[in-house]
Chains A and B, each alone.
Chain A
Amino acid sequence: MSDNAVTSTYVDHSGTLWVSTENGLNKLNRESGTFTHYYQKDGLPSNAVSCILEDQFGMLWMSTNRGLSRFDPVGNRFTNYSTVDGLPGNDFTGWDACYKSAGGEMFFGGFSGGVAFFPDKVISTSYPLPLVLTDFQLAGRSVEVGAKSPLKKSIGYTQDVTLNHDQNIFSLSFAALTYFNPAANRYRYKLEKLDRDWIEVGSDRRVASYTTLPAGKYRFHVQSATRQGLWNEPGLAFGITILPPWWGTFWFRLLCIVATLSILWTLYLIRLKQMAAEIRARIEERLGERERIARELHDTLLQGVQGLILRFQAVAERIPASEPARQMIEKALDRADEVLVQGRDRVKNLRLTAQMKSLREALTDDIKDLAVSKGVEFSVIVEGELRELNPLVRDEAYWIGHEALVNALHHAGAKHIEVEIANDPSQLRLRIRDDGCGIDSKILEAGGKPGHWGMRGMRERAAKIGAHLETWSQPGAGTEVELRIPGSVAYNAQGNGSPWRRLRQLWQEERPHEPDQGSNG
């Protein structure tokens, strides 16, 4: 026995003896002659058990000083009832004050009063409860219904609300529509996408609060149940849409990305332009240098030699005409005059680059001079509209082309040579193809034959003007030399307009070029 203070005894339909005490419930096991004890830890509302009855289903009902309890002897389970279930009070320890009528009605009495019920009716308290939302608060204030308010109708008649990004602190109140023992009702809710599990609350906390939710579509679910009953699936659902701020919208973000990419691209173009400008500056510098050297040569060397020739002439005149030395020196001075004229012409050419022939003319003349004597066929093709080239670029391109032609004719023994000049806005391309014996790949890799400076010279010239030089060749299959000069370097500047126009040019220059069959000059 759990205690000696026995309050009542009861024999159930199977003949089992139940003994209630002031400290625990006991069941006699006839076979072994021992008692099984049940305490508060096993599910009793309290250890002080007062009186026991059995209903028609074999369930034991007992009163305690903390309400009634129903015991399922098969499942060994207690279900407890208190004032929230409708009892007048909790203390039924009048000791052994209970009675079951012939109709099955049970009566329990105690210090808190008496209670009468049909055990089979008690089960029916677990009916589903209808649920409604009772209040919607934004930042702690009930939202009034109105045209400008998120609530167009009373919250009880509203299926969903749409909120701005700054209205993301809100709470929802809800209630089950029952007057029968409302304090015993249970609730649970969750916000889809935010809460993973149901949050269960008692009837005293029928409110769900959320703060600083990110923009998005949410769904609030709430369910209720009586104290013993099942959750009323599926319960109530309420849609909440929080709009993104203008800077959080998809279009704005896309715009940001596009803007960022545009800026990066523009920076890239500006960098390209800068690099081109640097190369141009270098070219200008070299043109200036060349001009300076030419001037120096003209002013000092040529004029100086001129003066010296005159002085030698003066010396020569002192030698009698009959002397052979006089003839000799006169002849030497004649040669000196010729050399001077040649030198002057060279210097003039050095300064004359800007006025020389076009690249096409220069290369055509070149190839004529070189090829005709050898009976070599050639063709010169010009693609695109011929544009005015930067003089130094044209010179370098010409010299590279010249070198390639010399290689083709003198080293490769070509029978046919094709020169192609393509004037793209984005770049100037010069290609020279021949059907000669080709260049050994080892020599190509080494940058030319040792001692033969042609290839290396070509590369150096190309590098100076920021151009790209490529050579394809195979023994027996001919050679192709391709020179590509960026348009920004190759062509004469189109003048400095407004910054906007320059920016536009910047973009236009990078546009892919549509091939056109324009005339060439």
Chain B
Amino acid sequence: MNPIKVLTVDDHPILREGIAAIIENHADIVLVGEAANGREAIECFRKLHPDVTLMDLVMPEMNGIDATVAIRKEFPNARIVVLTTYKGDVQAAQALDAGACGYLLKSTLRKDLLDTIRSVHVGRRRIPPEIAIAMAEHHSSDTLSERELEVLEQIAAGNANKNIAEHLSIAEDTVKGHVKAILAKLGANDRTHAVTIALKRGIISLEE
């Protein structure tokens, strides 16, 4: 049986080295290439046709979600596992929507890496149980509209309604309406709570 060809995409060389070191120990998996961002990932994929791609989400130039979408468009059978630090259900949902078939937390990388690569390779989907639970919990809940998301980001930046209204060129009352909707959709008690929930679930992130 041919070894599983793996491509790692992460902007931190030392993390890629770590992954490489683990893969090296196992004969059934072989690391065929490394890329530092989404753009490089697409090029490498075309050249190397890896069986499994480990894709970091936050990278310069092109992020993991965009790269996943691009690769899947060109190679519908590409198997991509998203590597991430945060456990938000929305981020995970985004990744899966983009066509990823696995989700790997960096904190459990050490133990789950090989199993994930192997099971994804045989056609399974791998999602850490905690994220799966979170996704199930929020599955039925309403998603925030684009405008609500903008308002939420402004709240997270510490802006008052008045400022948000100025920033987004809408009326202050409209902002208040959005805030109400956000609180309802997220099940938050107040603005601060809403931001906390949104960060936890990955609706908004600090990385950008």
Query: From DSSP, what is the main secondary structure of chain B's interface residues?
Result: helix
Bound-state Cα–Cα, A466 to B195, Å: 29
Bound-state Cα–Cα, A340 to B113, Å: 17
Selected contact of B25 from candidates A314, A341, A492, CB within 8 Å: A314
Of the candidate stretches B16-24, B38-46, B125-133, B143-151, the one touching chain A is B16-24
A340 touches B22 (CB 8 A): no
A495 touches B110 (CB 8 A): no
Selected contact of B206 from candidates A348, A361, A492, CB within 8 Å: A348
- Across the interface, which residues of A come within 8 angstroms of B12, CB to CB? 299, 303-304, 306-307
A310 touches B109 (CB 8 A): yes
B21 touches A355 (CB 8 A): no
- Tally of A interface residues using CB under 8 Å: 36
* CB proximity to A under 8 Å, residues B1-22: 12-19, 21-22
Q: Which residue of B lies closest to A492 (CB)?
A: B160
Bound-state Cα–Cα, A337 to B17, Å: 17
A495 touches B24 (CB 8 A): no
B15 touches A307 (CB 8 A): yes
A356 touches B14 (CB 8 A): no
A313 in the interface (beta carbon within 8 A): yes
Bound-state Cα–Cα, A318 to B157, Å: 48
Per-position binary interface string of chain B over residues 169-205, scored 1 when its CB falls under 8 Å from any chain A CB and 0 otherwise: 0000000000000000000001010011001000000
- Across the interface, which residues of B come within 8 angstroms of A337, CB to CB? 107-108, 110
Shortest Cβ distance from B99 into chain A, in angstroms? 25
Bound-state Cα–Cα, A388 to B190, Å: 13
B192 touches A492 (CB 8 A): no
Shortest Cβ distance from B46 into chain A, in angstroms? 27
A354 in the interface (beta carbon within 8 A): yes
A314 touches B190 (CB 8 A): no
* CB proximity to A under 8 Å, residues B59-85: 85
* CB proximity to B under 8 Å, residues A406-423: none
- Across the interface, which residues of B come within 8 angstroms of A315, CB to CB? 21
- Across the interface, which residues of B come within 8 angstroms of A494, CB to CB? 160, 162-163
Selected contact of B163 from candidates A354, A355, A358, A492, CB within 8 Å: A492
* CB proximity to B under 8 Å, residues A321-356: 333, 337, 340-341, 344, 348, 351-352, 354-356
- Across the interface, which residues of B come within 8 angstroms of A308, CB to CB? 14, 18
Selected contact of B110 from candidates A309, A348, A388, A492, CB within 8 Å: A309
A352 touches B110 (CB 8 A): no
A470 in the interface (beta carbon within 8 A): no
- Across the interface, which residues of A come within 8 angstroms of B17, CB to CB? 307, 310-311
- Across the interface, which residues of A come within 8 angstroms of B19, CB to CB? 307, 310
Bound-state Cα–Cα, A315 to B162, Å: 57
Bound-state Cα–Cα, A468 to B184, Å: 40
Bound-state Cα–Cα, A361 to B85, Å: 28
B106 touches A306 (CB 8 A): yes
Selected contact of B22 from candidates A310, A357, A492, A493, CB within 8 Å: A310
Bound-state Cα–Cα, A126 to B159, Å: 98
A510 in the interface (beta carbon within 8 A): no
B166 touches A341 (CB 8 A): no
A307 touches B18 (CB 8 A): yes
B21 touches A310 (CB 8 A): yes
Bound-state Cα–Cα, A303 to B16, Å: 10
Bound-state Cα–Cα, A299 to B17, Å: 15
Would A317 and B25 be within 8 Å (CB), given that A492-B160, A494-B163 are in contact? yes
B192 touches A306 (CB 8 A): no
Shortest Cβ distance from A264 into chain B, in angstroms? 31
A521 in the interface (beta carbon within 8 A): yes
A45 in the interface (beta carbon within 8 A): no
Known: A307-B14, A307-B15, A357-B192. 14 other contacts (CB 8 A): A306-B109, A307-B17, A307-B18, A311-B18, A311-B21, A313-B21, A318-B25, A333-B110, A337-B107, A344-B107, A352-B206, A354-B156, A355-B192, A358-B192
A-B contact pairs, 8 of them (CB 8 A): A309-B110, A310-B18, A310-B110, A314-B24, A344-B85, A351-B206, A355-B192, A495-B166
Give the 6 A-B CB pairs with smallest separation, nearest first: A310-B18, A307-B14, A314-B21, A307-B18, A303-B12, A307-B15
